[in-house]
Amino acid sequence: MTTIVPQEPLISALETQWKAIDDLVSPLSDAQWTAASPLPGWQIRDIVAHIAGTESMLAGRQPASSIDTSQIAHVKNPIGELNERWIDHYRSRSRDELMTDLRTVTAERSKALRGMTEGQWDAETATPAGPDTYGRFMRVRDFDCWVHEIDIRDALGLGVPENVEPAHWALREIESSMPYVVGKKARAEVGSTVRFDITGLYPFTFFVVTEDRAAVVPAVDGEPDVTLRLDGLDLARSVGGRPSAGDAEVEVTGDTELGAAIIRSLHYLI
């Protein structure tokens, strides 16, 4: 099903998120810059390199790297291979060079996105989530950058994100994958109804029902079979399989067996 994402709010959220990353990492000490992140093999600087590299790729650039990714255990797919090539590209460059590139390419991408017509924004393209609109792809970008802000903050003990709009679109992106989690991974029975109450920075509620196939719906008749209540940050950590996900507090009401299966299945990112 085609995903139509409003253009102006999403671009604004992306711009806010890019600035949040810049503001967060610019004052870091050298020790913090090279500290381990929650991601295997990555330091904090590598997260920044990943963000700059991905936007550079979308701007048509290629990394200068000949790294052999076949021996890197956490690389599972071509996207992972490309990520490592961009990180390798920036490991031979200074912190100032990386930050300059981050600012340059995000400004370039902002201008390009704002120059797109509605037809271009809504046109089908390849995305990390499969064929969908370019707007959906940019929602995935917002999600990726927001989750990586959480990674940096968690690694360095720097609190939690404060910007609502990037959180809004990131959590909506997660919402769109919950039918896969509930229906395929947790194997909820046909006819099951699940309520997710998301708390924290961007509180909202959504429902997943499993009929011919699982789907997000605005409401269900009667009480859902199970309700899961958790903070949006913990949901993001869980879908990303972050080490801190095990500390997430999830309140389960109703069918506790189904609830436990869903919690075990939340990690869907590779």
At 37, phi and psi to the nearest 5? -100, 175
Report d(CA 121, CA 136) in Å as an integer: 9
Between 79-83, 110-114, 220-224, the lowest mean confidence (pLDDT) is in 79-83
* pLDDT over 80 (residue 142): yes
* pLDDT tens column, 32-52: 999 999 999 999 999 999 999
Alpha carbon dihedral 29, 32, 34, 38, in 10-degree steps, equals: -160
Question: Nearest to residue 216, comparing CAs of 206, 225, 224, 226?
Answer: 206
Same fold: 7-162 with 176-265: no
* pLDDT tens column, 44-97: 999 999 999 999 999 999 999 988 888 888 888 888 999 999 999 999 999 999
pLDDT > 70 in the chain, percent: 100
Length of the chain equals 270
pLDDT at residue 68, as a whole number: 83
Report d(CA 81, CA 65) in Å as an integer: 11
pLDDT at residue 171, as a whole number: 99
Alpha carbon dihedral 233, 247, 178, 106, in 10-degree steps, equals: 30
pLDDT at residue 242, as a whole number: 96
Q: Compute the average pLDDT of residues 143-169.
A: 98
pLDDT at residue 251, as a whole number: 98
* pLDDT tens column, 192-220: 999 999 999 999 999 999 998 999 999 99
Where do the structural domains in the chain lie, given as residue ranges?
7-162, 176-265
Q: How confident is the model at residue 162 (pLDDT cuts 50, 70, 90)?
A: very high
Report d(CA 8, CA 160) in Å as an integer: 25
pLDDT at residue 26, as a whole number: 99
- The answer to pTM > 0.85 is yes
Question: Nearest to residue 31, comparing CAs of 43, 13, 47, 40?
Answer: 43
Q: Compute the average pLDDT of residues 167-177.
A: 99
Residue 216 gets which letter from DSSP?
Answer: E
pLDDT at residue 136, as a whole number: 99
| Arithmetic mean of pLDDT over the chain | 97
CATH C-level class of 176-265? alpha beta
The CATH number of 7-162 is: 1.20.120.450
